Chain A
Amino acid sequence: MAGVALGFVETRGNTGTIMAIDAMLKTANVELVQRVEIGGGYVTALVRGEVGAVKSSVEAGAEAAARVGELVCTNIIPSAHEEVFEQLGVKK
């Protein structure tokens, strides 16, 4: 079963998000779940994997995004509830 930890990196503007996704996928063994756009320039990159991998990749992703664009916030949910996964349209 894939890791259940979810990592979020949210930036304003897409360049930062693409940099963050690139850094995250290279840093650790995580899987890109979704890139969510909610208007107003807010774009969120969402990765999943083991807690340790997600933690290190989110840190790297946040740093990469901050260098290029405007980093809004980052978050790690170690073990999200199934309904949250269902919201994202992903199997836990």
Chain B
Amino acid sequence: MYDALGIIETLGFTAAMQAADAAVKSANVSLGKWLKVGGGKVNIIIRGDVAAVKAAVEAGVQAASKIGTVEAHVVIPRPADKLAKKMPINPLSADKKQ
């Protein structure tokens, strides 16, 4: 089960995709669908185990800040079950694997 949840919020789509690419290449994590928040803000959803998500978020933030501005980033080691059910944070590859 993917437990940890990492979110990188950037201003701009280009920085977000750079963060996603750096994150997914730096650790064994999987990405959820990117979220359009409006006002030019984009969220990148990263799922995996805690250590991998931490490393991935770190790498993503560093890569994205070279190009655009990173508004916020967070790592939730154990997201609440209800959160996972309601919010669109499931990894894209979830349907393939389950």
Residues of chain A whose beta carbon lies under 8 Å from any beta carbon of chain B: 6, 8, 10, 36, 38-42, 44, 72-75, 77, 80-81, 83-84, 86-88
Contacts and interface: CB of A to CB of B under 8 A. Distances in A.
Interface of B: 12-15, 17-18, 20-21, 24-25, 30-31, 33-34, 36-42, 67-68, 92-93
A80 B19 CA distance: 11
A44 B93 CA distance: 25
Contacts of B41: 38-40
Q: For the complex, would chain B's binding face be called helix, strand, loop or mixed by DSSP majority?
A: mixed
B17 A75 contact: yes
A38 B13 contact: yes
A44 B13 contact: yes
Nearest to A82: B24
A77 B33 CA distance: 19
Contacts of B37: 38-39
Contact of B31 (A38, A74, A75, A87): A87
B38 A44 contact: no
